[in-house]
Amino acid sequence: MLKLTDFDYHGKTVLFRADLNSPMENGRITSDARFRAILPTLEYLLEHGAKVVVATHQGRPYSGDFSTTEEHARVLGELIGREVEYVEDIFGKYARERIRAMEPGEVLMLENLRFASEEVKYVPLEKSERSFLVRKLAEVIDLVVNDAFATAHRSAASLVGFARVKPLIPGFLMGREIGALKKAYESTEKPRVYVLGGAKVDDSLRVAENVLKSGRADVILTGGLVGHVFTLAKGYDLGDANIEFLSKRGLIELVDHAEKILDEFYPYVRTPVDFAVELDGERVEVDLLSDEKALFDRYPILDIGSRTVEKYAEILGNASIIVANGPMGVFEREEFALGTIGVFRAIGESRAFSIVGGGHSIAGIYLYGIEGISHISTGGGAMLEFFAGKELPLLRAFEVSAEHFGGKA
């Protein structure tokens, strides 16, 4: 891959593809975590005299958080202490004119990339580079720097389309992400513990299958809906209320896949021994083998229980490598954050090299002030795809660009 520090940026126009897709409420960004993550790269470019054109997406068409990037320009400007001009255009004549008029040290924010139809569809690099978005912006930029790790598993025009058109360079954040994931994935230190929670059950099953079959994991700890599916696959009854919920989410059909994993790796996949439900406004913990499990017929499971946290914490305390993605329950409600907090604190307190990813996981870490985790990844979906053994299109695009532009820095 090309290196950020190998290029001269003075007077050059850099398209900086970031992932500033952030939670929003009433048109305001409620978390600037992804903005702060890209600051080292942005500040490096500005210090070296670049003209920086920031490109990002926000939400999906017709979703509640689909908006312009005017607010993103405001937030980024406050963080770097200089104006970030919001341009209500992506690659049209107005955007190109504003880019041509830039001076070194200036920052411009393009409109939400997903306002362009080409960006919404995922197509291979060969098609992406022929997109209007790539061809038009290529007229007015010299280099492309990419720190959008959270979208590394997508093959969209702004992500992979410039690979053979302009040098495509990983930013500092991208370098840290790739380095941390490879360190965990390729490590031979044992024990290697994977904690799979949250709602991305299909992706988590593929991760579990890959790391167990390839001998890269020694123990899998499960929680959230991932834990529900594995618990059902082990033959336990989670009650009518929870089975109905999983059915509505289309997750019951994944129990067969979980059973196949257990057939081969049963001792290595741990599931919760107790769960928490809400009864009369209070948190009530129910042992999976007790008669009280009849409560599962009427009340949804909202968290793992205290005994499960204790068992998981003991395993995590002895780990050398920890990879975690997704919360253990509905952590947004304080009374049902016990599982997520307990597990993440155990990760932070362990001696292991640890990676935690996923938007909800990151939110939980910051919300409850959890410290000691080696690397907090900005990309949940990309991280899961990586540990599932899939080639990430953006990482491949970096390699293609290095092959094409190598020695041309």
What's the confidence (pLDDT) of residue 210? 98
Question: What amino acid occupies position 45?
Answer: L
Question: What amino acid occupies position 341?
Answer: I
Mean pLDDT of the 277-291 span: 95
Per residue in 234-247, is it b (16+ CB within 10 Å) or e — as a string?
eebebbebbbebbe
Pair (166, 43) in one structural domain: yes
143 SS3 class:
strand
Pair (206, 326) in one structural domain: yes
pLDDT band, residue 2 (cuts 50/70/90) = very high
Q: What are phi and psi of 19, to 5 degrees?
A: -115, 95
What's the confidence (pLDDT) of residue 201? 97
Q: Is position 255 within any domain?
A: yes
Helix (H) or strand (E) holding 276: strand 274-279
Pair (48, 162) in one structural domain: yes
Mean pLDDT of the 235-239 span: 95
Pair (213, 262) in one structural domain: yes
Q: Is position 385 within any domain?
A: no
Q: What is the mean pLDDT of the chain?
A: 95
* Total count of domains within the chain: 2
Pair (60, 23) in one structural domain: yes
Question: What amino acid occupies position 386?
Answer: F
Pair (21, 145) in one structural domain: yes
pLDDT at residue 407 tops 90: no
pLDDT in tens, 311-335: 999 999 999 999 999 999 998 899 9
What's the confidence (pLDDT) of residue 409? 44
pLDDT band, residue 33 (cuts 50/70/90) = confident
pLDDT at residue 123 tops 90: yes
pLDDT in tens, 329-369: 998 899 999 999 999 999 999 999 999 987 777 777 877 88
What's the confidence (pLDDT) of residue 406? 83
* Domain ranges, residue 165: 4-170+391-405
> Cα angle vertex 215, ends 184, 376, to 5°?
20
* Residue for token pair 């005299």: 49
Q: Is position 282 within any domain?
A: yes
Pair (131, 186) in one structural domain: no
Closest by CA position to 277, among listed 303, 247, 257: 303
Q: Is position 384 within any domain?
A: no
Task: Kindly state the percentage of the chain with pLDDT values over 70.
Answer: 99
Query: Where residue 241 sits, what CATH number does that domain have?
Result: 3.40.50.1260
Pair (277, 131) in one structural domain: no
pLDDT at residue 408 tops 70: no
For residue 252, the number of C-alpha atoms closer than 13 Å in the C-beta half-sphere is: 12
pLDDT in tens, 375-387: 999 888 999 999 9
Pair (117, 223) in one structural domain: no
Q: Please state the pTM of the whole predicted model.
A: 0.91
